Amino acid sequence: MTPDDRLEHARQLPSPNCSERPPGERVSLLVIHNISLPPGEYGGGHVDELFCNTLDPGAHPYFAGIAHLRVSAHLLIDRQGRLTQYVPFNRKAWHAGQSCHGGRENCNDFSIGIELEGTDHEPFTPAQYDTLVDVTHTLIQRFPELSPETIVGHSDIAPGRKTDPGPHFDWAHYLARVRRRES
């Protein structure tokens, strides 16, 4: 990890959709998401465009309803396990929206958001799990308040509003691998 909280091995694509964390706020939550644009289609760079405010609303009918959004995540892990970083970890990415965890509102203030390229309707790839485990290990080393117990899905912090990472995300497999790396 670089001194400015970026992963050296990730493609860097800075998003304007971020801000400073509140003074004294520490990273204490890791949120796992899924995304594909258009829904169910992979590649094409549309996630990059959404997070960088360059998504063409006329490029696909679905985009007309989301091109105005100002959202981001810290990282995207594509289907091949490749990383793109949009926001340094010491800054607040705009990934969680209206959210609550442990009685605390606005999870963006104290969380890191990782998007997995995928949907609620199909499994994630082995390469994505490999990369996610590696990144999680790096983040736990960098942010001492993170642990396997402080990792949640978007659906956990925005129930009824969000469903990701979805029923095909293998929490048991992922967390067992993270715990093995931490021991």
Strand locations in 3-87 (E): 11-12, 18-20, 29-35, 75-77, 83-85
Find the angle CA(148)-CA(19)-CA(17) to the nearest 5 degrees: 95
**Catalytic residue of the set 20, 25, 105, 115:** 115
Pairing of strands 75-77, 83-85: antiparallel
Active site residue 115: yes
- Where is 181: in which H helix or E strand? helix 171-182
Strand locations in the chain (E): 11-12, 18-20, 29-35, 75-77, 83-85, 91-93, 100-101, 104-105, 111-117, 151-153
Instruction: Give the bridge partners for 18, in sequence order.
Output: 93
- Amino acid letter, residue 106: N
- DSSP assignment of 116-127 equals EE--TTSPPPHH
Chain mean position to CA 34? 8
Helices vs strands, H then E, count in the chain: 4, 10
Which amino acids are annotated catalytic? Answer: 115
